């Protein structure tokens, strides 16, 4: 018990010792690492260098403000981090890649399924006019909403619900991003995607190979999909057993 208390105290001291300037430098280091990785994976993803608007958004968002205090010292490490309730915040490179694949524009309205900590929503909110985000785990949704409001994001709407069914009354959407792995692409989300829109979603099983998929709907409503690269996400949860 004493050892556990000592670890907690040391963690708190380490977190408190990191200054705003340290976080700023760590964030810039993260950006450089992401661009380096984009070059290495460009043959698979089709993006050897991520766009300035995506990287500028990542440079603006204070990721350390959207993770638990005990993990803030690692907020800008290029890896996933636990955020509680068995969930994680995605690796920054994956956040950048998924954002890039969405091809977001300033006038776009984007749906996010799986708010988590709110980090991906914040990145999108730096680029597009409106973000609608759904979180099925109520404590996570409430915490993300409080954090995003505290950080001044006015163009994010969040609700607690089963994201499999999307947000029909707010749709259709220019882009949809799903931050948990599904066994298939949910038909309700395809319906809520505008012609010309993009959806990015990991597909597979929890203990199977997962593929990050790009879903594109053309102007005639025809849908095509493309595998981007192998990934690892926590599963999309909810009570759905059949597609609507």
Q: Is the peptide bond before 172 cis (omega within 30 degrees of 0)?
A: yes
Q: Is 51 tagged catalytic?
A: no
Distance CA 223, CA 196 (A): 10
Residue 46's contacts (CB-CB under 8 Å, 6 or more residues apart) are 228
End-to-end CA distance of the chain: 51
Taking Cα atoms as reference points, which of 109, 27, 113 lies closest to residue 67?
A: 27
Instruction: Give ∠ CA 188-117-18 in degrees, rounded to 5.
Output: 160
How big is the chain, counted in residues? Answer: 244
Distance CA 181, CA 201 (A): 7
Active-site residue identified among 90, 117, 133, 183:
90
CB 115 within 8 A of CB 136: no
Q: What amino acid positions are annotated as catalytic residues? A: 90
């Amino acid at each position: 018990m004493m050892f556990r208390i000592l670890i907690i105290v040391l963690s708190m001291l380490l977190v408190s010792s990191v200054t705003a300037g340290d976080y700023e430098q760590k964030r810039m280091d993260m950006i450089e690492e992401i661009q380096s990785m984009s070059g290495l994976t460009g043959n698979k993803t089709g993006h050897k260098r991520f766009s300035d608007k995506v990287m500028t958004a990542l440079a603006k968002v204070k990721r350390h403000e959207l993770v638990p205090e005990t993990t803030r010292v690692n907020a800008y490490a290029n890896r996933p981090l636990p955020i509680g309730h068995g969930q994680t915040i995605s690796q920054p490179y994956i956040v950048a890649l998924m954002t890039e694949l969405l091809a977001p524009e300033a006038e776009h309205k984007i749906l996010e399924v799986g708010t988590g900590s709110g980090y991906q929503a914040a990145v999108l909110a730096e680029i597009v006019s409106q973000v609608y985000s759904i979180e099925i785990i109520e404590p996570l949704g409430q915490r993300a909403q409080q954090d995003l409001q505290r950080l001044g994001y006015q163009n994010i709407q969040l609700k607690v619900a089963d994201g499999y069914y999307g947000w029909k009354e707010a749709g259709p959407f220019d882009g949809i991003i799903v931050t948990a792995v599904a066994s298939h692409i949910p038909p309700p989300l395809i319906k809520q995607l505008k012609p010309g829109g993009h959806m990015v979603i990991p597909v597979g099983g929890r203990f199977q190979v997962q593929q990050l998929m790009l879903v594109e709907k053309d102007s005639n409503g025809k849908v095509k999909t493309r595998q981007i690269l192998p990934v690892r996400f926590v599963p999309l949860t909810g009570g759905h057993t059949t597609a609507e």
